[in-house]
Every structure is written in C-alpha cells, then in structure tokens.
Amino acid sequence: MNLFCHGMGLICLFAGRIVSAATPVDRVKLGLDQSMDPALRPALAEVADEVGLPRVLLIGDSISIGYTLKVREQLQGRANVHRPGENGGPTVFGLERLDGWLGNGPWAVIHFNFGLHDLKYLDERGGYATPDKGRVVATPEVYASNLSLLVQRLRRTGARLIFATTTPVPAGSNARIEGSEARYNEAALKVMRENGVAIDDLHAYALAHQAEIQLPHNVHFTPAGSDRMAALVVSSIETALKP
C-alpha cells in the first residue's frame, strides 16, 4: 500500500484516497486564524438558490472573499453564486475541506484558486514570520502535487473548472517574498494545462494595474481593485456557462 504526505504533514494519500493525519485541520498552525476584515464577512454567509439557475462555486482565499459579493451581484438572475463559509487557505487545507465545500452539488462552474497561503512563511505556532525565521507552507513542487489532487476531485463533479492565477506579492508583504507568486503560477499552469482546466489570469491584470488597485506592501486590493477582479471573474464564468 502506498502512503505519502503533502504540505505540513496534515494530509496523506493512502491507497489513492485522501485521508487526514490531523482531524480537524489545525487552522492555527496554518496561519488561518489571523484576524479578518469585518467588511469581508458578509461574503461568507450562505445564500439561497433561485430555482432554475445554474450553480457556481467560488473557492479561494481572502482575495476571492473580496470579490464574492460583487460577482454574486453581477450574476444575479443568471447564476446562483456560492462560496465556502471560510478562507480557502493553502492547498493542504483545501484537500482536507474540499468534500465539505462541494457538498451535494450539482455545480455548473467551479472557479478556484490557491497560492497566497501556500507561499507564505510561518513560525512553529502558525504566526506569520519572515522567510529567515519561518518556513514556507508549501514549496512550488508540493503545491503542484496538491493541486493535481484537488483537480482530480473537482473533475469528478462534472463542473466546468476555472483556475484563477495567484495575484502579485508586492515588496514588504507580510510573511511573503516579493514576486514569489511567479514560480507558483508557473507550477499551477502546468497542472491546469495537463488537465484541460480553463485559466482566469487575474495575476496578469493585477500586475499591469498594481499601482492603481493593490494596497501598498500588502497582497490585498482596494475596494475598487476587488471590483475589477470581480469583473474578470464574472467574464470567465459567463464564458464557462455558455452552451
């Protein structure tokens, strides 16, 4: 029997099935219990479906939480837009939580992203750390391997899949190295191309307009910047929803 682990020792693949080596996942050790902007919390609320409309699932970290409400608003009357009621975190967390996030479906489109929490550095207690005093949550190689497992599970839903590239890491960002997202995006794109997953290149747009839409020394966006991200996400979902 084959047993090997990914990420920070939390997820193992045993005989081809994802199992947890620590249940529940230690959110603190993954740095997911950092305070969240209260303005983002409404996006995490459950929403009721409008009968007859296709169901869309957004999976991602606080960047996706920031654009969820605007995406939902722009697709109102055309799609039911859902998201997990928590930060999607790193890929190792996604592997643990994915079945719960997917629920019973059905999903017409799943728009997903992981990356900013994989490339961050943490200390032994799960606190944000500088690279010289912490360790990265997942190397690009582990990140790619975890993404492959996530895509395998997502494909079983029958939904049309869209992967959003990881947005820029500016200089001075907490617990992250400027520009490190490039290696992670390169690894992710290889996985997505091999699996025929559509790409929503949020990174390219954000990088080209970084001074206008991104907060200084911070991976997050201004409200107007999140709205621009939402417009890109809506466009990619509209394309996927076409017959």
CA–CA separation, 222 vs 208, rounded Å?
A: 15
Check: CB of residue 89 under 8 Å from CB of residue 63: no
Task: Supply the pLDDT for residue 52.
Answer: 96
- pLDDT recorded at residue 105: 84
Q: Where are the domains of the chain?
A: 52-241
Amino acid 103: pLDDT = 94
Give the predicted TM-score (pTM) of the model.
0.87
Cβ-Cβ contacts under 8 Å for 114 (sequence gap 6 or more): 60, 61, 88, 89, 90, 91, 94, 143, 146, 147, 150, 166
Q: Which residues are registered as beta bridge partners of 162?
A: 111, 198
Q: Where are the alpha helices (DSSP H) in the chain?
A: 62-74, 91-102, 140-155, 181-194, 202-208, 210-213, 223-241
pLDDT value for 3: 30
- Pick the closest to residue 61 from 181, 172, 155, 145 (CA basis): 181
Q: Which of these CATH numbers, 3.40.109.10, 3.40.50.1110, 3.40.50.720, 3.90.1150.10, describes 52-241?
A: 3.40.50.1110
pLDDT for 38 equals 58
Q: What is the pLDDT of residue 168?
A: 97
Q: What's the pLDDT at 238?
A: 98
Position of tokens 């620590």?
A: 22
pLDDT given at position 41: 82
Interatomic CA distance for residues 186 and 199, integer angstroms: 12
Residue 125's pLDDT is 87
Q: How far apart are CA 200 and CA 164, in angstroms?
A: 5
pLDDT along the chain (243 residues), means of 10: 37 33 58 63 91 97 96 98 95 96 95 97 92 95 98 97 98 96 98 98 97 95 97 98 91
pLDDT value for 19: 33
| Number of Cβ within a 10 Å radius of residue 74 | 19
